[in-house]
Amino acid sequence: MNIMDSRRILVVTLSNLGDVILTTPVFAALRETFPAAEISAFVGPKAADLFQDHPWVCHVYVYEKKASLREKLDLIMRIRRESFDLVVDLRHSLLSLFISPGKSTSIFRWRGASKKAHAVDTHLSILGELEIPAGLRNPFPLFGQEHLERARALFQARKINLDEPFFVIVPGARSHLKRWPAKRFKAVARLLREHNHAPIVLLGDKQERTVCNEIGEDLENFVFNLCGETTIGEFAAILGSAGLVVTNDSAALHLADLQDRRLVAIFGPTDEKRYGPRNPRARIVRKELFCSPCGLAQCPYKHECLDHLSVEEIFRACADVLQEDRLVTL
């Protein structure tokens, strides 16, 4: 069949939320190219909520890595019965060999992809293998009106207004090696308050509640802790309304960047050229060291790439992006 006649498309995406968010431009490109097609997602459980009940995604197949062999085979058979016309596999897995689609991307890395390219460009380059255009006019919607209304209710319960200026701090990250110290985030919150009276909202998942509590302690009159209280959609809706987002290299960075928010991104061991923000209102702060970025799971030194980043450097980046719109005075 002609690939442009595809009516049932499966996208095999990644596992961790931040990585999956960086694949959403692929969904946008496919929706643009195949406006009448049913597009489904094969995704890990950590990011499944990003696609559940999404207007662009027909079905969500959740792959549990720890599932039994029988459960995995049952999932494969369910997908096989759908008779997909096209599979776009961003994992380069063997799934296509088992479900027999009409057409699929290669299980091998495509020669058009560069290891030095930004992750979004790497994912979009896979479409080039199939000669599918990757130009984007309509970005992937990260939240719906229902998420926005629930986010507004969370704010109202704390007597703050989602429609008035506020800043967001997201101090967590999937790896502890990517986390700037909580006490320094707290110092940045104080400095932001000195120069602008906007409330500051703390966001993160339930596992990051302790670090958010540490930051918010004794600052309850202007810091509001919503850590662990939002869905992915509500999280994205809050970031989409924020006047400034300060975050480590995390899912929050990508959610804010794809919505062109004012953003200060703190980088340590990971490569900002591959995973950093690309909107013009973003600022990247990193310490230039011989060992960074290393991309290692364990630091062989003393975590200098983040420990040597000062409060003043982060606040200076915040002031720089806010002064463009005269939101702070120094």
CATH classification at residue 64: 3.40.50.2000
Average pLDDT of the segment spanning 294-298:
83
Please check whether residue 276 is in contact with residue 284, taking contact to mean a CB–CB distance below 8 angstroms.
yes
Q: How many residues does the chain have?
A: 330
85-127 confidence digits (pLDDT tens): 999 999 999 999 999 999 999 887 655 556 789 999 999 999 9
Distance CA 53, CA 73 (A): 25
**Residue 23 sits in the same domain as residue 51:** yes
**Residue 121 sits in the same domain as residue 178:** no
Distance CA 215, CA 204 (A): 12
* Residue 57 structural domain: 3-128
Nearest to 141 by CA among 251, 28, 32: 28
Q: Which of 61, 95, 128 is the last residue of a domain?
A: 128
Average pLDDT of the segment spanning 318-328:
80
Q: Which of 128, 161, 188 is the last residue of a domain?
A: 128
Sign of CA pseudo-dihedral 180, 182, 185, 191? negative
**Residue 310 sits in the same domain as residue 206:** yes
Residue 228 included in any domain: yes
Residue 133 included in any domain: no
**Residue 210 sits in the same domain as residue 63:** no
Task: Output the pTM of the full model.
Answer: 0.93
**Residue 80 sits in the same domain as residue 158:** no
Query: What's the pLDDT at 329?
Result: 55
**3-state class of 237 per DSSP?**
helix
Across the strands, what pairs with 86?
A: 9, 103
Residue 140 included in any domain: no
Query: What's the pLDDT at 113?
Result: 57
**Residue 72 sits in the same domain as residue 166:** no
Asked if omega into 139 is within 30° of 0 (cis), the reply is no
Asked which of 26-35, 153-162, 280-289, 318-327 is least confident by mean pLDDT, the reply is 318-327
State the total domains in the chain: 2
217-269 confidence digits (pLDDT tens): 999 999 999 999 999 999 999 999 999 999 999 999 999 999 999 999 999 99
Q: Residue 8: in which H helix or E strand, if any?
A: strand 8-12
**Residue 152 sits in the same domain as residue 227:** yes
Average pLDDT of the segment spanning 9-20:
96
Report residue 330 as tokens: 């120094």
Average pLDDT of the segment spanning 31-49:
96
Which among 88-92, 294-298, 304-308 has the top mean pLDDT? Answer: 88-92
Between vectors from CA 113 to CA 111 and to CA 115, what angle results, nearest 5°?
Answer: 115
**Residue 109 sits in the same domain as residue 222:** no
